[in-house]
Structures are given as structure tokens and as C-alpha cells.
Amino acid sequence: MAKPGDDLSSRSSNGRQLLFYGPEDISTWEAGLADCLDLSDASAWSDLQARYETGRSERTHNLLPWRRCLHVARASGAKSAVIERRYICYDYQSEFSAFYAHVLAGLPTTSHRIHFFSSHVTKADYRELKGDQKAGYLGYIVCRPRDLEIVGRTVLKPPPGYPVLTAVEDTPTFFGQELKVNGVPFMQQDERLGVCANVVAWMVHYTAYRKSQVSRRFVAEFQRRALDFSPKAAVGLDPFELLGLLDGVGFRTELFPRDAKDDIPETRYPWDPEPTAGSLSLSPIYRENPPPLLAGRDGLMNDSELLALKRRLVDECCRNLNSGIPLIADSFEHTFVVCGYRLTEGESVANFVVQDDQVGPYINVPDCLFDRYDLREAQALSVTDRAASLAEVSTHLFAGTSPDPSEEGHSEWSDWMELLVPLPSRVFLRLHAAEAAALRLLTLNFAEADKGEAAGQPQFPELVALLKARAKNMLRFRTYLVSANEFKGRVVERGACPSLVTAYRSLRLSEWVAVVEFVDIEGPLSAHQCLGEAVFDATSNPKNPWVHALRLGTSVSIVYSNGIHKTIGTTTSSLHPAARPYQSLDGRLLIEKSDSDANAD
């Protein structure tokens, strides 16, 4: 079998060798029904990689997304793969009918879909999978035919330890059998028809579709909506054009320019004298050769300005990722999807996880201020060459640092210039506005409690736990958007007493609510306690959000839709935080090695 990137060749009648890049014959592409592969050893992975890279070259194609997808499947423990030939992928067919039906080169209308399993699946049993085989399903990659960019619609289970918060359940049909996988949708840009902006719009759309929030649209429609369609080469979109594209397919999209302090305000806790936002250290090399973002309008940003900028970006990302909403980050010439983040002890954010259509799924970004393309690309190198290169950059990936920008090949910065938040269409309340309103309510109650304490007449016993957390500087907010049905449904599992369950489930809520939890972050993440929460109507005015409910310790104030207020006492003093679970708690990536092979993530 040809090696990845090899030239295919033939000989003319006079014996001269003719070199060319030749795509696979259509009849070969569609031959057979399925191939079952045993992926027990490293050579099998190299053969699978080479199988789809034959006829493609690193000089003419971007092979990084394909290789990264294989890394992800391997890191998740894939032991076998089944290649479903002649698969009818509606997204690829939309690309075909929109563009490739107009070109001379003959292209199949079908694609291949590779299914990965953590158990062994063979020719003898793939049509009738057993329970353990179905339970070990790890997802799929749709492969475009011939010499097109390889990776089409893809949903893979995240590798172990990756803190992904926007995963959705996909239910592919595998030879008449329904399978399930939880992952973040991914697709590589086609480059001739679609560019990164079109593909990231499709990614967030498919996520919402799998949550039943929007009707399904195929990827070519995102290109048609961006242009007055006729068969033509793809063009990029600026952030405002991308916003219009998303709004046109059922979202209400918020755009947050990075430098606009009014659009992304800074959350400051009055009881926190020295707010931090993760580790932010600037070595001398950054002073001598700073990334573009350090050169502000008034010269080089100082440490406090950088810290405030990072804090605003981190806060806005985390609020929406807690809600299960994938974000779109826009750099100078590229857009990508942000799908998760990792917390260290003390609530500092260590890094983010992104879907980069030019590099691959589940890419770790150590720092949103000092984002580097070279660090991303190192996570998607060839399976056969990756061990040494990963070892070279692993220190930077795990420590949250970047290589020396003066070194050769380490010069591509990816500044996060804007954030686009594709909200459900009936959400009008910005989450930072809900958070600010919750802070005002909590501060007012704290002021009354402090007055009583100063007068020697404590009057708010329900606030004792909150006041203790404030005194220790361990009180923080976790803010997220959630559907009213999900909020009510999770009350019991969060540990609420019957009276609180009745109070919350009797509320007439808007379709979506913004929830701000007051969390005691002392101890490990698993021990955090939600000491109260404010529940806001997500359709209300950001200047004066309507509070559905405010719980402070054992006291709950309810505001019904007819304006009647009611305060009830409960036996519940704290709940389990209901924000999306964090899948990794130790602040670094987990490396899962298979058979002592260092190539796996």
C-alpha cells in the first residue's frame, strides 16, 4: 500500500515513469458493502491512515484533521473499525449537488463512514451487534471520496480527560441498528465550496439540531446563505456576516468584540481583594517579541490590563459553555468552535478545548490570550511520527505555556478577537447581565445582614453559610442558561427537599431561564456546594432582569407570573451545583497509552 503523501505513478510505453496524483477509481470506491478492521496494533492504524491519504499529498491537501480524528478514536480505546461503503451522507450530497455536479471530474455521490468500537467487531457479527459491542461504540468519521478534503460529518467520543461541555447525543443507524455516541460535531472545510466560517456555523447548528432546538440544514446551505449562490469558489466571512448567517438558520447570535468592555464586562466580587483568572505570566520573550494583542492602541498592555482582558474573555466563555452552548471564536483570519474548558482548584481556568476545522476535533488551547497554531498542529501530526513531536511540546500543553516565539516555526499567533454566542432564538437576556443582577441582590442582602451583625442583632440565619463562604473568599458564581423543563427536572437530583421541589416545579417559567448559582468553592470540585441561586426570565430586559426565584440558604423568595411574591422556608441549606459537570479535575490532560504506545493522546 502506498505511504501517506506518496506520488502514484505509471509507466508509458517507452518505459518512462509518469508521476501524478491520481484519485481512487470510482468503481473501487464503491466496491463491497463493508470492511472490518482489527486495530489492535500500531501498524493497523498506519494502514488505515494511508488508505485514505493515498492520492492526496500534504502539498495539495490538509491532512491534519484526518490524522487528529484517528488520534481521538485511538485515545478513546478503539480496537476495531467498520468501514461502511456507499454511505449516503446528506451533507456530502448537498456539497455535491451545490458544486461538484458542475465540475468535469467524475466524483461518486457516495461517501465512506468509518465506525469505531472499543470491542472487536468482525465480518461475522457486524450486522447483529451484541450489547457490549453497542455499548462500546465510539463514533464515526464520514470520509469524502477521491481527492477531496477527507473529513466530512464526524461525531467522535471525546478522549479521556477532555473537559467537553457541549457534547450531544448522536444516533447513527449502522446496518439497521441504532447506535449512540456523545460528542461534539466536527467537519473539515471543503475549501472549494465552504470555508471555516461556513463549517463552524454548521457545527453549532448540528449541535442545536441534536438538541431538537432547530430543524436540520445541510452544510451546503450555509454557503448558499452566505452568497447569492452560483457555483463558485468559497469566500470567507467577517464576524457580522457570520452573525447574520447564524441568525438566518434559527439562532439569536450575540457578538462580543474582545476589546469592548461594555459588551464583555468584568465580574468583580466585592469580597475578593485580588481577583485572578488563571495563571498569566509574561516571560521576557513576550516583552521583546509580543503577540499582536499585546500591542494595544496606547502601546504595550501592562499586566493588569492583560489580566482584566483575560478575565472578561474567560468569564464570557465559561458562562455559555456551562450552558452547553458552543461558542465561535474569531481570530484575524480564522474561526473555530470552543466546546469546553478545564478548571483548576480555586476556580481558575487552565485551558479550553476547541474544534478547529483546519487541525481537527478536541484541540487543547492552553491560553486564550496566547493561542498558537503550532501548538494546535502538534496535536494532529502523523500517527507514525507523532511520539517525538508530542513529547517536544507536551510541557507547553500541560503547563499552559507557549514555546519561545523566537524559535523557528513558532511564530503564528491566533488572537481571539471576537466571540459569537449562538443563543436559542427566544433568549434575550445576556448571561453577564443576569450575573450582575444576582450580585446586586446578594450584596443588598449581605448589607442588611452586616447591619444586624454590627448592631449585635443577627436577623438572617439563612445567610450564615453564605456569609462564612464570603469571609473565607470562597464564594463564587456559576452562571448558565438552561431550559425550564431541565431546571425543574434536575431539582430532585441536586438534593432539594420536598418543599423546595414543590416551590420550583410550581413556577410558571419562561422557556429558558438564566441561573446564577452562589457556590462555596472550598475544597475539591466534587465537594463544592451551591448555597443559593437566582433564577431569571431569559426573555426579560437585560437592564432589569425579572427574577423568578431567589434562594439564599434555607429561604426562597418566589415571584409568580401574576406579580405575587411569596417567601417560603425549606430544610435545604445547600444543593449540588447544577452547572454542567467538569470531566477532569486535576488541571492537566490525561494521556491514555495503548500497549505502551506513546502515539495515542
What integer is the mean pLDDT of 511-533? 87
Residue with cell 410558571: 508
Which pLDDT does position 600 carry in this prediction? 33
Q: Kindly state the helix (H) or strand (E) to which residue 83 belongs, with its residue range.
A: strand 80-87
345, three cell numbers: 482548584
Residue 326's closest CA among 204, 484, 494, 242?
A: 204
Residue 496 scores a pLDDT above 70: yes
Residue 406 scores a pLDDT above 70: no
Q: 61 falls in which pLDDT band (50, 70, 90)?
A: confident
Residue 39's closest CA among 120, 159, 137?
A: 120
Residue 242 scores a pLDDT above 70: yes
Which pLDDT does position 268 carry in this prediction? 74
Higher pLDDT, 261 or 508: 508
Helices 90-98 and 219-226: crossing angle in degrees, nearest 10, is 40
Residue 413's closest CA among 333, 352, 340, 339?
A: 333
Higher pLDDT, 232 or 191: 191
Q: 177 falls in which pLDDT band (50, 70, 90)?
A: very high
Q: What is the mean pLDDT of the chain?
A: 78
Q: pLDDT digits over 18-37, tens only?
A: 444 455 566 677 778 899 99
Residue 53 scores a pLDDT above 50: yes
Which pLDDT does position 345 carry in this prediction? 57
What integer is the mean pLDDT of 112-122? 95
Q: What are phi and psi of 388, to 5 degrees?
A: -65, -40
- Pair 213, 174: CB distance under 8 Å: no
CA dihedral over 499, 505, 510, 512, signed as positive or negative:
positive
Report CA-CA distances (Å) from 460 to 137, 256, 452: 53, 39, 8
**pTM, entire model:** 0.82
Higher pLDDT, 523 or 411: 523
Which pLDDT does position 587 carry in this prediction? 26
Which pLDDT does position 577 carry in this prediction? 67
Integer Cα distance of 375 and 589 in angstroms: 14
Integer Cα distance of 273 and 271 in angstroms: 6
What integer is the mean pLDDT of 478-499? 89
Residue 117 scores a pLDDT above 80: yes
Q: 83 falls in which pLDDT band (50, 70, 90)?
A: very high
Integer Cα distance of 368 and 418 in angstroms: 12
Which pLDDT does position 257 carry in this prediction? 82
Which pLDDT does position 365 carry in this prediction? 86
Residue 105 scores a pLDDT above 50: yes
